[in-house]
Structure 1
Amino acid sequence: TTGLMDNFTAYFGRVLSNSFYPVLHPAIGVGSAFEGWSPREQDVVYRVLVPMAPPQGHSFHLELDSAGHRHGRNFRVHVQLECTCGREQQAGNMLCFLHHPEEELRSNQDPSPLDTLCTDSYLDVHKTARWFYRLVRAAWPALPQSHNWHLTLLPTRRSCQFKVSNGTDSFRIEVLFGVRRDDSHVFVSSQTREAYTASTTWPESYAVAEAEFFKHIARQAPPDSLHLKCLQFFTRLQLGFSFSTYAIKTIVMHLLNAMPVSSWRRRDLLLRLVDISETLRLCVKAKRLNHFIVGNWRLPVDIILPEDVHRAKTPNLFHHLQQQPAAHRQAICEYRLL
């Protein structure tokens, strides 16, 4: 999967090098398939995030949505033109979008993303996804994988999903798009957390930071560490219950961060499973489960966060248990069944 996305990225780099579409950086694997603990191995989705940078003559400015959102913060990506008059000689035939007449620009230069991928000067997720679908369809025949694999594009609005199969094996891949916040491991991304999200809304995503955390643990863990097996076991166990896979993952990340990685060896399996179960019980009782990334000052130093994410009030993933007594009673009942 990683090799396939590397081939796509190399192709995109060649065909987009002289265009004014966003610059696409190498894909970053995120989520359970790349972290090594997929709950349903038969339904694995290989999810990657493709970082985007502004093309020449443009800049991206992230604007925080002032409306409060319990599930996380939302941003908009404002695309602005930059003067390139002083760089026109070095940039070859490029004309400055700000200071050349529109008629001359239309006749001699590819359009700006403001005209192709934006709505009211804000980067549009739906238009970006449609553009990426066209790129994938055009790139596929040129890739070595196309000789032995069949590509099927799957309909989605806020990402690009496709399946590759060869008659025996099949892989499903979801490509998300994101803009990095500063030089951190936090992005605003096309992935949505709610049933409806406006096309110019880009939710803040911590998926890359979480993937970096699992890499950090893997570098330190002994060869017989079972931390991923513990996580996989519990996420499979809770299928059919109201506890989300993300809640179980958050509990395991907190425990991994709080105790030595050497305490997750095979001989400690039962103790760690009890720890996960007891932590879930205490969180349900307290109606509180702290987000692992936001507001956490105890993260490893190699996980880089924007200052406002570091200093933010830690969201409560069990907020709904505080607001809905019936949901709290159900959670207690389901924990006992678990």
Structure 2
Amino acid sequence: MAFGIVAMCLLMAATVIDRPFTFRPASWSVEQDLEQERLSRMKEREEQLQAEMQRLEKELVESVPGGLGSGSGGEPEMEEEHSWNLWSALSVIAFLLLEIWRQDADPRSLQELSDEDEDSGAIGDLSRSVALPDHQTLVHFYDKCIRVPGNELSRTKELVEGCADDLLEALRSVCNRDLDMEVEECIGIGSLYENWRVKKPLVCDLIVPFTPPEPYCFRADVLCLGTGLGLGVCSGGKVTGELSFGRIRVISPGEDASACLCGRTHLGEDMLCLVHGEQIMQSKPDSSGQKDELLWSATAPYLAKGQVIRWFQKALTKAWAKIAHKYDFDLSFQDLERPGALRIRFRSGKTVHFNISPVVEFENSDVYFMPLLASDAQPGTVQSNNISWPFTFAVYEKRFLKLMAKKLPESSCHLMCLQVVSFLHEKQCNLTGASGLTHYHLKTALLHLLLSQPLGAWHHSCLQNRLRDLLRFLEKALLEKRLNHFIVGNTSTLPSFNIPDIFRSAEPLNLFRAFVTRRALYQRARRTMAEMLRNAVVLIREYSLESPSQDGIRARHKAAATEPS
């Protein structure tokens, strides 16, 4: 009996060493689910080992002649029992030592420990101690290096929107109405339409909703990552899992029985639905013979991103060839991996960039599914699966910023803070390389901060304090590896914007999820953030000069990096 207790203690110690208990924040539901799954697997293995031990003991007892209390046979049986107990103890100890050796020899464990020790002091509370310039210096820096004149923004928008409208009109004329997609009017999104663009040249982001030819229609299904069950279609009620992406299902004529009464009622042979019955008869694959030419025929019943990108690029090329004679500039693709990343080049050499992306609307809302994300859209969500579509809430975010601009004090500093941080981050990435942080992360942090601060705190004179608050918010989110999406799972935000309930009721979507799964990316983001905070004053002063020297900035950065912290 005593040995059984000792063996069980050793076995439990081995289990703890094999899968040590970790303490996670309560909000990390996905990590907790994975940990629970590991613990359940270890519990099953423990039960299997116990069952195997009991089976071996039973076989040993049955193999010994005589009973346990038979006089002369008692002493040999006791010796056999002691030898078996000794063998079992040695086996458990060997198993324990093997697990300890495996943990010590695991290079991943050593790497994680070394990374933690190395970067434990990379960033902590630098945002509080960083010496930001005074208000006058920040305003001078903003006016000189960041602020874009309003007339330049207006001219850029007018040029891009006019060119996009002509392109789409020509696209409609060159496409086959029976086989090609039907495009609607373009919608402006992104930082240029939110008045905080800092990157030059200016880039306009436009989205174009498209629909299939009649009588087909789209149905977008939102997929979520459940608790150990993989991906599934999110339905009504509370969504138990993180929203991941969506699939665009192509509904053939007659397939959606709820769309019309004829789909739920037997009309008889001599009756015809006046809504769409004739279209169904004319669009049968056997009668038309054109089903194989439809855009989604290869991946039916789901729409593939790659096919949409190729179709859209070919359609834009044909459309531009039809209207090119009307313009005195050249139009070309600047990135073949994007469906509509275009560049206007004038004869003087000046260029204007804009992105025009085809999107699919989700249930008559302002949520759209995109084949590739726009320049300021959420990163890291484009799935390798060709039928997996990331979603964007850019229209809601633009509407929220416009609403806040009306409530905040006149000449508020909220966009100035976002532009300054975006400028510093971009320049820091030019010095030390790209990091996992993006402009969309910075904008999301500002959106959260707008709700947590009083409206009067965003007065123009509070620029320095609000800038420090934004840096502190980003630093804290990076340390916790968690930055919640502003709309998904946020039930208290935008009550009057008619956001679909499936996104409101979902669990908060962590935009820093890639930092949890990719440690190298996380370490690079931490180092970039720490260097940006340390070099903020130097960067602001250098770029406030009449003619900032990039070589001088790099030299100062190298000198600061070599100084002991």
**Which category describes the TM-score, using the shorter chain as reference length?**
0.7 to 0.9
Question: Over residues 83-123 of structure 1, what are the superposed CA-to-partner deviations in whole Å (9 max), with x where a residue is unaligned?
Answer: 496458xx9xx9635566646414xxxx4587234423321
Counterparts of 1:46-65 in structure 2, within 5 Å, are 46-65=204-223
Counterparts of 1:127-166 in structure 2, within 5 Å, are 127-143=307-323, 146-166=326-346
CA distance in 1, matches of 2:493, 2:292: 37
Q: 1:184 aligns with which of 365, 369, 375?
A: 365
Higher gyration radius (CA):
2
Query: Structure 1 residues 121 and 224 mapped into 2: Cα distance closer, same or farther (>3 Å)?
Result: same
Q: Could you report, residue by residue, the CA deviation over 1:146-170 in whole angstroms, capped at 9, with x for unpaired residues? A: 4222111345245222211212331
Q: Counterpart of 2:366 in structure 1: which amino acid? A: H
DSSP-derived class of the 2:249 partner? strand
Residues in 1 aligned to 2:524 and 2:424: alpha-carbon distance in whole angstroms: 17
Give 1:57 shift. Answer: 0.7
Give the aligned residue type for 1:181: F
**What are the superposed Cα offsets for residues 49-104 of structure 1, whole Å, 9 maximum, x if unpaired?**
1112233211212234464599952222111221496458xx9xx96355666464
Aligned residue for 2:180, secondary structure, equals: coil
Task: Give the conservation status (yes or no) of the 8 Å contact 2:312–2:358.
Answer: no
Which residue identity is paired with 1:116?
A: L
Match of 1:172 in 2: 353
Within a 5 Å distance, the mapping from 1:69-88 to structure 2 comes to: 73-83=244-254, 86-87=273-274
Contact 1:72 1:203 in 2 (8 A): no
* Residue of structure 1 equivalent to 2:295: 116
Measure how far apart 1:173 and its partner are. Answer: 2.0
Whole-angstrom distance in 2 between the partners of 1:140 and 1:167: 18
Q: Distance in 2 between matches of 1:299 and 1:261?
A: 16
Would you say 1:252 and 2:446 are equivalent positions?
yes
- The answer to whether the 8 Å contact 2:242/2:507 transfers is no
Tell me the distance in 2 between the aligned counterparts of 1:210 and 1:333: 29
Which residue number in structure 1 is paired with residue 200 of structure 2? 41
Pair 68,81 (structure 1): closer, same or farther in 2 beyond 3 Å: closer
Name the structure where helix makes up a greater proportion of residues.
2
Partner in structure 2 of residue 235 of structure 1: 422
Asked if structure 1 preserves the Cα contact closer than 8 Å seen for 2:334 and 2:341, the reply is: yes
- Alpha-carbon distance in 2 for matches of 1:5, 1:33: 16
- Per the TM alignment, residue 22 of structure 1 is displaced from its structure 2 partner at its CA by 2.5
Q: Among 362, 379, 384, which residue is 1:197 paired with? A: 384
The more displaced of 66-75 and 202-211 is 66-75
Q: Tell me by how many angstroms 1:253 deviates.
A: 0.9
Q: Distance in 2 between matches of 1:100 and 1:4?
A: 35
1:225 lines up with 2:412 in the alignment? yes
2:288 to 105, 118, 129: 105
Deviation at 1:314, TM superposition (A): 0.5
- Cα RMSD, aligned residues only: 3.4
Q: 1:282 aligns with which of 460, 476, 484?
A: 476
Task: Select between 204-213 and 320-329 the one with higher mean Cα deviation.
Answer: 320-329
Identity of aligned residues (%): 24
Structure 1 residue runs without a partner (length 5+): none
1:145–1:312 distance in 2 versus 1, CA, 3 Å: farther
Give yes or no for contact 1:20–1:113 (8 Å, CA) kept in 2. no
Shift of 1:203: 1.5
Match of 1:271 among 465, 478, 498: 465
In 2: Cα distance, 1:289 partner to 1:319 partner: 8
> Structure 1 residues 198, 157: CA separation in 2 closer, same or farther (over 3 Å shift)?
farther
Q: Which whole-Å CA distance do the structure 2 matches of 1:326 and 1:12 have between them?
A: 44
CA displacement at 1:221 relative to structure 2:
4.2
**How far 1:313 moved relative to its partner?**
0.7
| CA–CA distance in structure 1, aligned partners of residues 370 and 488 of structure 2 | 16
Task: Please state how far the C-alpha of 1:145 moved relative to its aligned partner.
Answer: 8.3
What amino acid is the match of 2:424?
A: L
The alpha-carbon deviation at position 234 of structure 1 amounts to: 0.3
After superposing the two structures, state which structure 1 stretch, 121-130 or 18-27, moved more.
18-27
Count of aligned pairs: 329
Worse-superposed segment, 121-130 or 149-158: 149-158
Secondary structure at the aligned position of 1:238 is classed as helix
Unaligned runs of 5+ residues in structure 2 are 1-159, 225-229, 233-240, 255-259, 261-271, 374-379, 534-565
Shift of residue 294 of structure 1? Answer: 0.7
Report the equivalent of 1:9: 168
Amino acid at match of 1:136: L
Q: 1:175 to 1:113 in 2, by over 3 A?
A: farther
1:300 aligns with 2:494: yes
> Taking structure 1 as reference, are residues 50 and 324 closer, same or farther at Cα in structure 2, changes over 3 Å only?
closer
* Bigger mean CA deviation after superposition, 328-337 or 238-247: 328-337
* Equivalent position amino acid for 1:184 in 2: S
2:279 is aligned with 1:96: yes
Give the Cα–Cα distance (whole angstroms) in 2 for the partners of residues 9 and 220 of structure 1.
36
TM-score by length of 1: 0.82
Quote the offset at 1:17 in angstroms.
Answer: 8.5
Does 2:192 align with 1:27? no
In structure 1, the partner of 2:144 is none
